[in-house]
Amino acid sequence: MNRLWMIAWMGAAALTACDSDIFVFDDAPAPPVDLDASYYAGVVTVRWRLSASWNGESFRVYSRRTEDPDFFLIAEVTNCVEGSCFYDDANIVEGATYEYYVAAYDPDSGEEAASESSVVVEVPPMDGPPPPQLLTVVALDGAIYLLWDDNARQDEDFSFYRVYQDGDGDSAFLVGETDSEAFLDERAENGKTVRYFVTAVDVYGHEGDPSALGQGTPRPDFHGEWLYDYFARPQQSGFRFRPDERSNPVVSGDAAERHVRLEVDANGWWLVPGPGTEVYPVGFETTALRCGPGADAGCTELAVAPTLGYVTSDLALEPQTTYALRVVGDDGATHYAAIRVVLLGFDQNDDAIMIFDWAYQLQAGNPNLAPGR
């Protein structure tokens, strides 16, 4: 009975307190949780999550260098998204170590509730990797292929490359990023000269100095064609010789009309004959597909294809080499053709790619590797 009386008395006292404002109930803000911080590209990002008891309070971010005795208020954050909050601190110095904590702040009461612990972030030196060297630009038909050396990769903190298209004045356009020493720009337009440079970025987001400029002009002709490895991009791995450029020679590697397709495995790069196609089993080392007027004195070409000794087996490929083929043309007759491998490499996705020039003799049975008229 005494217990029940005591409970009733406490309830009455509470009501009396509400009427007279004698008692003040503690409604302190809920502190932030899961505090974390990280450095990237000249900025320390401080992150935290809202407590389940959060009641709309703002947050104050405090920071200090670890050798300093006191923390300083550096920002007040009022907007959070889906329970997560962050603040980017760009007022930092390389080589310094910073400590952060965050407190929930109630402007009505002036109370703060600090995070359970602080976080420490070391800011590394902000120099990026050295620039790539030996930038080479290969003009293709409707595309440009770039490749460079691995000079920047020697930096122990190297991460990836950025490829830029150089504009007028100080402007530049980011074409893409890659962790490979090569890039295929398929947005280049025939007849328009494009200039490029490449930079390297380290694991901390520091971008190094640009490479030297390289330029190229895509153009439609029988030069600068490319195929992908059948096992990486089958729809762009097949090829059919065409009598002119009104039809796209690149076909699916599974297409019945293909003359050849490209396959790459651990043993190398292979030209695989399609239905009715024969290949000469030995390649010819050349400096160009054709040596016409104005060619260098040392220009070497395969002007006439062999007429005997063709096989249907896969053909191992080497750069700067011309290969002779016999194929069945659109007219159902046998035609001679040639593929000169310019480059075997990889694109920005590490997909194997072959860049090559080609010739197709329009006259059936003529082994001279020039278009018939």
Q: Please give the share of the chain, as a percent, with pLDDT higher than 70.
A: 90
* Architecture of the structural domain at 33-122: Sandwich (2.60)
279-286 average pLDDT score = 97
Q: Are 33 and 51 in contact (CB under 8 A)?
A: yes
Residues 37-77 pLDDT 10s: 999 999 999 999 999 999 999 999 999 999 999 999 999 99
| Domain ranges within the chain, ordered by starting residue | 33-122, 136-216, 225-360
pLDDT confidence tier of residue 191, bands split at 50, 70 and 90: confident
Give the mean pLDDT of the chain. Answer: 89
Secondary structure element (H or E) that encloses residue 2, with its range: helix 2-20
Residue 9 has pLDDT above 60, yes or no: no
Q: Looking at the predicted structure, is the pLDDT value of residue 27 above 80?
A: no
Task: Name the pTM for this structure.
Answer: 0.70
**What integer pLDDT is reported at residue 243 of this predicted model?**
84
Residues 6+ apart with CB under 8 A from 157: 124, 129, 202, 203, 204, 206
**Topology agreement, domain 33-122 and domain 136-216:** yes
Contacts of 301 (CB under 8 A, 6+ apart): 286, 287, 288, 289, 290, 291, 322
pLDDT given at position 371: 60
pLDDT, tens digit, for every residue of 195-234?
999 999 999 999 999 999 999 888 766 888 999 999 999 9
Provide the pLDDT for residue 118: 96
pLDDT given for residue 344 in this prediction: 97
Residue 19 reports pLDDT greater than 50: no
Q: What is the pLDDT of residue 134?
A: 94
Would you tell me how many other CB atoms lie within 10 Å of the CB of residue 78? 10
H or E stretch covering 3: helix 2-20
The predicted model gives 108-125 an average pLDDT of 94
The pLDDT of residue 20 is: 45
pLDDT at 245: 73
Q: What is the mean pLDDT of residues 89-116?
A: 94
CATH for the stretch 136-216: 2.60.40.10
Give the range among 100-104, 226-230, 366-370 with minimum mean pLDDT.
366-370
Is 60 exceeded by the pLDDT of residue 139?
A: yes
In the structure, what pLDDT confidence band is assigned to residue 174 with cuts at 50, 70 and 90? very high
pLDDT at 10: 40
Q: Residue 22 to residues 17, 25, 26, 77: CA-CA distances in angstroms?
A: 5, 10, 13, 34
Rounded to a whole number, what is the distance in angstroms from the first to the last CA of the chain? 119
